[in-house]
Structure 1
Amino acid sequence: MSSDHTRADETDSIDDTDEPLLQVRDLEKYYPITGGLLKKQIGEVKAVDGVSFDVRRGETFAIVGESGCGKTTLGKTIARLHAPTGGSIRFDGRDISALSERDLKPVRREIQVVYQDPTSSLNPRKRIKDIVAEPLVVHDIGTKAERRERVAELLERVDLPEDFLYRYPNELSGGQKQRVAIARALTLNPSLLVLDEPTSALDVSVQAKVIALLEELQAELDLSYLMITHDLSLTKNIADRIGVMYLGKLMEKAPAETLFDAPQNPYTEQLLSAIPIVEESEAAFKPERISIRGETPDPSDPPSGCPFHPRCHRAVDDCSRVEPELVDVGTDHVSRCLLHDEDESEM
């Protein structure tokens, strides 16, 4: 690699005239590990460790990585379902990192979450009309008649007939339940949806329909999406930009097309090489398969140096001793790897 790469400040490289809707800077979420009779803290799990990125208005930013990389914790911390340990979260120009529950209430109207499993996220004892109307009740918005009208409008928007108002979740298919979950997330007219593996619990044929619905809603309502997924192939067509996480750290961040055409981080290379080929026409563009060695390390006892070095096909001696920083490797493209700059490995 050329030594022309510059150290990134972990912000997005493109200067937009409009301030990003969401600005995440050096975000941390640590969980204490206790032991002994007195339950003293003896360590910590760094589920999210110094992560920075922006989500621009109207775009889809995807966070990808293997199970246990911290991406779901990242999403919940940004939505302030978890309090951050450190760093900052700015939403629509306001720092929401340390807001009290009372002050967070209006923010929650603007940031909504769609969870992975709609079966567990929908109350089985409530009818659909009450599930979708619940945010209006919590925020004391509208009369009973106005709430019913709003719920009917939302069901129509997610392509569900009005008679679903009186059904229970167990009467719906997986795809229909997820549409209800999306309708509930839209009830308060949010500007940001955190989509936590929104299609992973669905059949492949249903996944495509839900993704198409999300794209349609984004265009109609000018929504921004933070999509969390382990499926890189899912992000290729829906995401504008992608961040790749490993053991709580952001390893690479780039526009989607750039990431797929010219990945710069060894971990990203391995993830892309593992994407299955669906059609023969894709074979010519498929990178050579790179086998990932070993298992993901215990997050409570991460490796020294680069967190990925024990499994990396391009690791050198310094990778076990020196922790790399994010560096600029192209336009709006950053990566965390010592091989990007030989001088970094001598620090």
Structure 2
Amino acid sequence: MSDATDDRTDDPLLRVQNLEKYYPITGGLLKKKVGEVKAVDGVSFELGRGETLAIVGESGCGKTTLGKTVARLHEPTGGSILFDGQDIGTLSERELKPVRREIQVVYQDPTSSLNPRKRIKDIVAEPMTVHDIGTKAQRRERVVELLRRVDLPEDFRYRYPSELSGGQQQRVAIARALTLNPSLLVLDEPTSALDVSVQAKVISLLEELQDDLGLSYLMITHDLSLTKNIADRIGVMYLGKLMEKAPAASLFDDPQNPYTEQLLSAIPIVEESEAAYKPDRISIQGETPDPSDPPSGCSFHPRCHRTVDECSRTEPELVDVGPDHTSRCVHHDDTD
């Protein structure tokens, strides 16, 4: 291989810089813009090849909007989305078509993401049909191959989604996402609609597929405990901003942001070994503020157990607090 190819392989698969997704608020008879909801507000991160980055946070924090904007299912308001070195944030729908083969989404609820009127064979083959790939015979072979890969019997291809369990439906959704051999999967709460015992099996399948196929995952989830074993790095999001980014082990062992501390504290302790990263129980106070009218200063300060007067006046920036570890908190400004 050439040096240029080697350099490109070492580059992140995905580099998101200052990404914004704003929604206008209109009012009055003329429906004039009177404000905006900053669902994603200046988010930056990188995702390596074969790596899993988890974005976690409470409902309404903007994490799902972030995932859909990165996949270009939503139009970004600002910033850049560099995928394999190409800025896809400004591409037209026609220009996006080859990119969509490389970026696929697995949604939260398979019962709503799978067409109930189509058989499994047609659902899994649909991406090939849309992109006009292969003959009918090749598509049939690919469907059988993918069903085997996600541990489903090949005769399931003649069934309808309603004839499958929730876990089986999600495996079909994963098979469909793999049809075009993508390099990035955006996993939007991929197990939240499943029973706990089924969740573990789906996560194990995702880990196996990543090892076998070299996939990169951008995982969106509200369940921080889910990320402990599958994520390489974790970003904690609140009201459109990343509050903390760190390798998974660092975030669990040494959380630096008060919001992260509260999220970790809320995880039930099942085994004694899990208590190591949760020495004290910290309850999360109040409700998430209205995103159209966020608090001044640090948006988390009304609910924070470490709040001081400065928190309501100063909006903190993400700063380095350790190796590959950043956090957004006014208390970090006091350290050298």
- Given the two structures, how large is their TM-score scaled by the length of structure 1? 0.93
Q: Which residue of 2 aligns with 1:234?
A: 226
Match of 1:244 among 223, 236, 241: 236
Amino acid across the alignment from 2:311: C
**SS state of the match for residue 279, structure 2?**
coil
Cα-to-partner distance string for 1:262-291 (whole Å, 9 max, x where unaligned): 000000000000000112443354331111
C-alpha distance in 1, partners of 2:15/2:246?
Answer: 16
* Pairing 1:26-45 to 2, within 5 Å after superposition: 26-45=18-37
Match of 2:184 among 189, 192, 196: 192
Matched, 1:117 2:103: no
Q: Which residue of 2 aligns with 1:85?
A: 77
C-alpha distance in 2, partners of 1:257/1:329?
Answer: 15
* CA gap 1:20/1:245 in 2 versus in 1, 3 angstroms: same
Amino acid across the alignment from 1:248: G
Matched, 1:210 2:210: no
**SS state of the match for residue 235, structure 1?**
helix
Comparing both chains, which one has the higher relative contact order based on Cα–Cα distances under 8 Å and sequence gaps of 6 or more? 1
* CA gap 1:312/1:246 in 2 versus in 1, 3 angstroms: same
Amino acid across the alignment from 1:101: E
Q: Which residue of 2 aligns with 1:134?
A: 126
Amino acid across the alignment from 2:129: V
C-alpha distance in 2, partners of 1:287/1:251?
Answer: 21
**SS state of the match for residue 334, structure 2?**
coil
Q: Which residue of 1 aligns with 2:216?
A: 224
* Pairing 1:198-347 to 2, within 5 Å after superposition: 198-342=190-334
* CA gap 1:279/1:183 in 2 versus in 1, 3 angstroms: same
Which structure 2 residue ranges, 5 or more long, are not aligned? 1-7
Which structure 1 residue ranges, 5 or more long, are not aligned? 1-15
C-alpha distance in 2, partners of 1:210/1:122?
Answer: 17
How far 1:17 sits from its partner (Å)? 7.9
C-alpha distance in 2, partners of 1:308/1:77?
Answer: 24
Contact 1:273/1:290, CA 8 A, preserved across alignment:
yes
CA RMSD of aligned residues (A): 1.4
**SS state of the match for residue 289, structure 1?**
coil
- Given the two structures, how large is their TM-score scaled by the length of structure 2? 0.96
Contact 2:51/2:217, CA 8 A, preserved across alignment:
yes
How far 1:24 sits from its partner (Å)? 0.2
Contact 1:272/1:287, CA 8 A, preserved across alignment:
no
Contact 2:316/2:328, CA 8 A, preserved across alignment:
yes
C-alpha distance in 2, partners of 1:218/1:309?
Answer: 38
